[in-house]
Amino acid sequence: MRPSILRRLLRRVASTAVLGVVAATLSTVGAAQPATAATGLQQVTGFGSNPGNLQMYEYAPAGLPANAPLVIALHGCTQTANDYYTNSGWPKYADLWKFAVVFPQTTSANNSLSCFGWFDPAEDGRGKGEAASIVQMVEHAKQQYGSDGRRVYVTGLSAGGGMTADLLAAYPDVFAGGSVASGLPAQCATSQAAASGCQTGPQKLTPAQWGDKVRGSYPGYSGPWPRVAIWQGTSDYTVYPANATALRDQWTDVWGIGQTPAGTDTLPGNTTRTIYNDSSGKPAVETYSVSGMGHGLPVSPGSGTGQCGSTAAYFLSSICSTYYTGVFWGLDQGAPGGGNPLPAPSGPTVTGVTGSSASLSWGAVTGASSYAVYRNGTEVGRPASTAFTDTGLTAGTAYRYTVAAVDASGATGTLSAAVTATTTGGTGGGACFTATNYAQVAAGRAHTTGGYVYANGSNQNMGLYNVFVTHTLRESPAGYFVIADTGCTA
């Protein structure tokens, strides 16, 4: 018997160990059948050598412009491409924001539960098996639709989420961003025997060890890295929430930004979003924790712009994850015309602070009808002028602000550089220290991780470890430092 045939037979026999809880939990869901093309969903053949034995389905809206984004959407176990097309909400936003979507499909010929092989080194590595087939689909779609190769994204649920993480690690030069829903960190398991252990509780590795699994997937690659959204239900007993924590640790380490969030906010559907910004203040990693949700993709049926999808097995009513993922990737920018987003405003600068407010101003952008102001990554205002006062703040606290221009269609442009404002007052006062990042570390007020500097105590990201970046730190209480570039008084 040929080794390739033997390997596939072994995978089918052992597949009950892979996301086996899925079968036990949703025993009413039958084995997946090949997708039948729904209206608008078309099968593509001859897209490449297809070493992973996958099927390719695609959807493209009418009037798709050249240089539009491309999204790859991976179904979960026991599902089909048509299931994901019908229930996930991706076609709605493809129509609204103008991009093409590819829905790869695996079948019981590869795995008895139709799971993507996120646990199999012969399937999930660079140039290997299913991963290579998916990248061939990307190349075919780019040629077919004239897609922008700089804006290719991948998303997936459960086993599709695990494969998504593996693809981001193995092909960071192909994918600008990813979204992992109820999935696993990249290279969590390298055998079927280890797969179930990852689902119920991944290895207790440090962020650097998780990051090494990504860096080892494409040795020598130095960036840029994909921006990653992580979706997880707190009551998921198929892929436990510990996997979301491991994913967070993995991708924040790859980005070199630490695990201290820039901001946290509350979204619909009992969802908590936590944001981890890069050195320019732009979200690089976001986690979305859906309270009380089990194993599945969050959807929110309805006709509103932020609503999508339909409920079905593994498609759970709470929040439209597809909408928030698309906005995180910037798919809504420039729609529907497909033009370039507005440039970043110059600045911003802090013009004043009180114990409960911070005032900002920035340079005007031609073509802007308003400006979106973000505090710690969350939008807090949309003024028509080039000035804004943020209120209701906590005394003696540092806040990080960025601004983007918004055009008449509502498309948000490029984020500005970040500025930090520290409100006055607070308890404990504290001494202020202004110095370069290098000197702050040398003086014991900050520390380095992955080439970046973080304030001791607060762990706020101060930027690159060098003598060219200067910050003011306030110490309060002893040994606890916060960025206080403005409003710092002893």
Mean pLDDT of 454-476: 83
* Bridge partners, 267 (sequence order): 271
**Of 140, 133, 108, which is closest to residue 50 (Cα–Cα)?**
133
Mean pLDDT of 332-338: 51
**Of 470, 481, 476, 460, which is closest to residue 425 (Cα–Cα)?**
476
Q: pLDDT of 9-20, one tens digit each?
A: 334 434 333 454
Phi-psi region of 450 (alpha: psi -120 to 50; beta: other; left: phi over 0): left
User: Which of these is catalytic: 15, 158, 179, 300?
Assistant: 158
Tokens standing for residue 67: 């240089």
* Bridge partners, 359 (sequence order): 352, 389
Q: Is 402 helix (H, G, I), strand (E, B) or coil?
A: strand
**Percent of the chain surpassing pLDDT 70:** 87
Q: Is 455 helix (H, G, I), strand (E, B) or coil?
A: strand
How many residues are there in the chain? 490
Amino acid at position 474, single letter: R
Q: Give whole-number Cα distances, 284 to 103, 228, 256, 275, 277, in Å.
A: 25, 7, 10, 8, 5
Render the burial of 430-464: b for 16+ CB within 10 Å, e for the rest: bebbebbbbebbeeebbbebbebbbbbbbbbbbbe
Tokens standing for residue 453: 């500097």
Mean pLDDT of 21-37: 34
Highest average pLDDT, of 120-129, 192-201, 422-431, comes from: 120-129
159-170 and 129-145 helices cross at what angle (nearest 10)? 80
Decide if pLDDT at 227 tops 70.
Answer: yes
Measured distance CA(452)–CA(443) in Å, rounded: 16
Question: How much is the pLDDT for 39?
Answer: 52
DSSP letter at 312 equals B
Do residues 279 and 257 touch, judged by C-beta distance below 8 A?
yes
Measured in degrees and rounded to the nearest 5, phi and psi for residue 352 equal 175, 155
**Of 479, 485, 430, 483, which is closest to residue 457 (Cα–Cα)?**
479
Mean pLDDT of 65-94: 96
Do residues 292 and 235 touch, judged by C-beta distance below 8 A?
yes
Render the burial of 374-397: b for 16+ CB within 10 Å, e for the rest: bbbbbebbeeeebebebeebeebb
Tokens standing for residue 245: 């924590």
Do residues 197 and 166 touch, judged by C-beta distance below 8 A?
no
- The mean predicted confidence, pLDDT, of the chain is 86
Measured in degrees and rounded to the nearest 5, phi and psi for residue 214 equal -70, -50
Q: pLDDT of 274-322, one tens digit each?
A: 999 998 888 999 999 999 999 999 999 999 989 999 999 999 999 999 9
Q: pLDDT of 46-66, one tens digit each?
A: 999 999 999 999 999 998 988
Question: How much is the pLDDT for 36?
Answer: 37
The model carries a pTM of 0.66
Do residues 160 and 315 touch, judged by C-beta distance below 8 A?
no
DSSP letter at 65 equals P
Tokens standing for residue 207: 């962020």
Measured distance CA(108)–CA(296) in Å, rounded: 20
**pLDDT tier at 3 (50, 70, 90 boundaries)?**
very low
Active site residue 158: yes
Mean pLDDT of 391-414: 81
Question: How much is the pLDDT for 487?
Answer: 65
Tokens standing for residue 157: 């649920």
- The DSSP code sequence of 212-247 is HHHHTTSTT---PPPEEEEEEETT-SSS-THHHHHH
Q: pLDDT of 341-389, one tens digit each?
A: 688 899 899 898 888 899 999 999 998 999 989 886 667 899 999 999 9
Decide if pLDDT at 131 tops 90.
Answer: yes
In the sheet that holds 446-449, the strands lie side by side as 446-449, 452-455, 461-464
The count of other CB atoms within 10 Å of the CB of residue 234 is 15
Q: Give whole-number Cα distances, 390 to 181, 323, 347, in Å.
A: 33, 27, 16
From start to end of 305-464, where are the E strands?
315-317, 349-353, 358-361, 370-375, 378-381, 387-390, 398-406, 419-422, 431-436, 446-449, 452-455, 461-464
**pLDDT tier at 489 (50, 70, 90 boundaries)?**
low
Tokens standing for residue 364: 């005007």
**Percent of the chain surpassing pLDDT 90:** 59
Question: How much is the pLDDT for 428?
Answer: 46
Question: How much is the pLDDT for 335?
Answer: 40
